[in-house]
Structure 1
């Protein structure tokens, strides 16, 4: 990342923060502003006032290239709160694309929490089901269409594409066609459940970050999460049983298929981010890690077995 570009981005962000604070009455008595690391598409801050603490999200320029609908994000953040799993929306500055929610006094989860404490599965799936049973979200999150959009943009802009990536698409499309032939009921989904988008306050699990939220299949939500956490097949089976309340092989294979499709698609997200994001992060390495996991599944017999099982149980 070019240092001059980073310095300019930081200066512009500082100006946006000052402007936002001046326009939101609840932030009038701000006492402290604390940057929060970890955001891959936004600048995140904790804002402390004399009375309360808040979480501020500043969208980085160019996020529209990732097909993020900020209006839907605002609406769905409100609806996730109504569902009982999302933080309360405090303010939304549409023109500046700045979102402010109430601060959660809770522990951010990490990948290790899922592998070290499988007993947490039931708490996680309870929160996910609660979200899925809540008010419908604005927008339809169609991942096959989104990943094709990302690939088209990467090709037309000459962004980095791993060798063999385009040739592998036909295998991904084969999985997508089987899934589309017997669609699940659409439910309100977060669609970007990283480990860090769960927070545990000791009593309940909260789900944060609704940038990619929209109506979608529960099995995509599960499959995408299992890919982000790098679950083993046994862990996927346990997680699916926890969510659905019983062992359903068809749901396991569907989640596994979505996991592979998601990993393949997010590779192009990383390629776009590498060129448009002012955030200092190694997006290429992040994307290549996903790509290598896809290659492994495509060459070790996993894909053929998955395709067979998906066809038989769909």
Structure 2
């Protein structure tokens, strides 16, 4: 399993800390505790099942490790209601202020995000973050199933990569054409390389929870139609090629992925995308299909055309179906 983790730390001298902060610094953590804290930081918030799959360990072991971190005040538990199950909830974990401070002082650099952005506070966005994490976990398993594939994912919220000069995430986009001013930030950007075929594909991910309207008269309001238009201009102007330098490759294709939380939402976005034939680079799927068939499966509606067979992001010759939950 490969994780996108860079060197981080604090350059603040010890003399500038308060007495309570000095107590935090004196706390010791084991290498395995540090590894788990780094994972939680990178993913923002993690459920027990997600940690199990990331590390390939059992539920009891994960629960024991999380409880030890909680007792040390290094993480915070949040109680989240499960979708589709009345009264059922699950605990998810995020790093605490103490945990973030300790991790800072374990390294020789610094976080690129301030503490208020590192520490997960908005519980209302938890389900969005968890679905994004599920996508990333499934993405990691592509390399395990198909060793010839290499995968690298960049999150919009990672604290381990520098921000742009304007203070926005590294994967944010801002540019102007003669008619439009484009400004957007995907939930994630990733590259899949096939070493045998010497091919590379670039993907941008939008996790959709059904909270945004499909269209609106205001171009300044977040909506699906505006997002698609922005990405279309981005694709046509080949702005995405800036990532060729980062991954030292020439892309053989570019895809925008919409991962939705329901079949109804998938159909709505497909109708929006399918109204313009130039949107064939936009692919749509659902959480349900991801869980049932994995990212190796033919789960994506290409160009919003619901009447054609679904496709796999790894192509027809490599596609496979294998749920992670069997």
What's the TM-score once normalised by structure 1's chain length? 0.26
Greater relative contact order (Cα < 8 A, sep 6+): 1
Q: Which has the higher strand share?
A: 2
Normalising by structure 2, report the TM-score: 0.26
